[in-house]
Amino acid sequence: MIGGNESCTAGPTPMSYLTCLTYILGEWTGVEHIEDYLSYAVYLSWVLFPLAVVFLLPGVLLVLMYTSVLIVHIYKRKNELKEAYSNDLWDGAKQMLATLWDAHGRIWHGYELHGVKNIPEGPALIVFYHGATPADCIYFLAKLIIQKRPCLVVADHFVFRLPGFKLLLDVTGVIHGPKEECVDALKKGYLIAVAPGGVREALFSDEMYNIIWGERKGFAQVAIDAKVPIIPMFTQNVREGIRTLGGIKILRTIYESIRLPVVPMYGGFPVKLRTFIGEPIPYEPNVTAEELTAKTKAALQALIDKHQKIPGNIFRALMERFQSQKKED
């Protein structure tokens, strides 16, 4: 073994530092031909690196979420003395968050929003297809905030149990979605965005873009009670950016038992995202919730059929970043 006073470059045949390190490691562990094991480990790391990346990239959205949480807490500390004197205390924080998410959408996904003219000046219920994550909805809401359009969004109950998220949800207008609260907000003139498929659609739909609503029709009753139109919304390639392993049956069984999003996700690919807002479905006093649900589902399916190639393809969605872009509304 090389002594403490000896050098890797000493002697008639100087060794490289890597060879020297391998030699020392072999002497220390007592494993013969350790360089073969190290070569195999390096080979495996190169092979598995892309796999590790596609499972780690979705964590970027989580990092951005907690960055947003940190921003609103810092903003609150800096402005707590103004709270008693200002009705617009959180406007600056909202604009800051909207700018952050709008920049992420533009840079990472070349995000575009089309059909804004279909959103009325008054209240409306926006119904959208839920991707594996709500990133596209966040980009959409960011643009509305920048345009100073108040819009609430209905989220699943588990979101409100995430540590540190309460203040962020309050500031950005995320609500549990009880029927009475939604009707009241619509009557006050707000826009509300909701995905009837919720977490189940997010986790268990796939590249075929199946709408998974089950028997849910509460959103339709809310629109009827508030006497507002429903506006369908769909984002092209939303399932190509991040995908789930929802096709594994045991994961579906676990979810139905505990109702928590335990299904692994992978991706985070910088695919092209375009959100399309369809024509409003006007309020009709004599329509039932079942009929309105069917009309809304058909309108959303029409947007999917028009703007999404089925089955979705990650490579094609990536290449669309380099195609001529449609003019943004």
Tell me the domain boundaries of the chain. Answer: 48-320
Tell me the average pLDDT across 142-151: 91
Neighbouring residues of 39: CB distance < 8 A, sequence distance ≥ 6? none
Least reliable range by pLDDT among 31-40, 187-196, 237-246: 31-40
d(CA 223, CA 207): 30
Least reliable range by pLDDT among 25-39, 265-279, 282-296: 25-39
Least reliable range by pLDDT among 18-27, 262-271, 315-324: 18-27
pLDDT digits (tens, 9 = 90+) for 100-133: 999 999 999 999 999 999 999 999 999 999 999 9
Tell me the average pLDDT across 280-293: 96
pLDDT of 178 reads: 87
Is the pLDDT at 186 greater than 90, yes or no?
yes
Tell me the average pLDDT across 307-323: 93
**Three-state SS at 153:** strand
pLDDT of 43 reads: 53
Is the pLDDT at 285 greater than 60, yes or no?
yes
Least reliable range by pLDDT among 138-142, 177-181, 281-285: 177-181
Catalytic residue among 73, 104, 109, 130: 130
pLDDT of 7 reads: 47
pLDDT digits (tens, 9 = 90+) for 207-247: 999 999 999 999 999 999 999 999 999 999 999 999 999 99
Average confidence score pLDDT of the chain: 84
Known catalytic residue at 130? yes
- Residue 313, CA distances (Å) to 134, 152, 325 in order: 19, 32, 18
How many Cβ atoms are within 10 Å of 48's Cβ, its own excluded?
10
Is the pLDDT at 66 greater than 60, yes or no?
yes
**Three-state SS at 19:** helix
Is the pLDDT at 46 greater than 60, yes or no?
no
How many Cβ atoms are within 10 Å of 100's Cβ, its own excluded?
15
CATH fold for domain 48-320: Glycerol-3-phosphate (1)-acyltransferase (3.40.1130)
Q: Are 266 and 133 in contact (CB under 8 A)?
A: no
Helices then strands, each counted (H, E), the chain: 13, 9
- Residue 298, CA distances (Å) to 59, 69, 284 in order: 34, 37, 17
The secondary element (H helix, E strand) that includes residue 114 is strand 112-114
φ, ψ of residue 191 in degrees (nearest 5): -85, 145
